[in-house]
Homo-oligomer: A and B are copies of this chain.
Amino acid sequence: MISVDAFDLKILSALQDDGRLTNQELADRVQLSPSQCSRRRMRLEQDNVITGYRAELASDALGFGVVAFIQITLATHSPDNAERFRSLVGRIDAVQEAYSLTGDADYVLKAVLRDLKGLSDLVNNVLMPHQSVAHVRSSIVLDRLKDSARLPLKQLANG
């Protein structure tokens, strides 16, 4: 298991909030020297605790007006069919996230689209006709209460 101490947690937490912090700024926040922050950060990257850095973009400002959750039930649950479906999902750029789930549906997708026409296209012309898919049910996002993409690292502090 990778060991992550209190300093590492502070660093991870800070970088979760601002991924472009310089080592000097990091140093101020976690009470360590810049060089040590640099070293620790490199280790965390090497150990794949930090898997990357991403710019977060304003989807609305860029013209993506529609976000939808799409629940999918497969036609059959054979490995072949599942593989076909995974391959399909991988090729659709509009699908940001895809998970297999317990419960009613087999999969849930989160898709980002320009407008309702885009969603309609995706559902009716791509997903529904695909041989691997039996059932599709989509829910459109009306309001975004929270979208942090941050892990609750505080919970690890006392453990």
Contacts and interface: CB of A to CB of B under 8 A. Distances in A.
Contacts of A152: 93-94, 112
B96 A146 contact: yes
Count copies of this chain in the complex: 2
B52 A18 contact: yes
Contact of A151 (B48, B62, B103, B150): B62
Interface residues of A, number: 69
B93 A155 contact: yes
A20 B133 CA distance: 39
Contact of A139 (B17, B50, B61, B103): B103
B146 A20 contact: no
Nearest to A145: B98
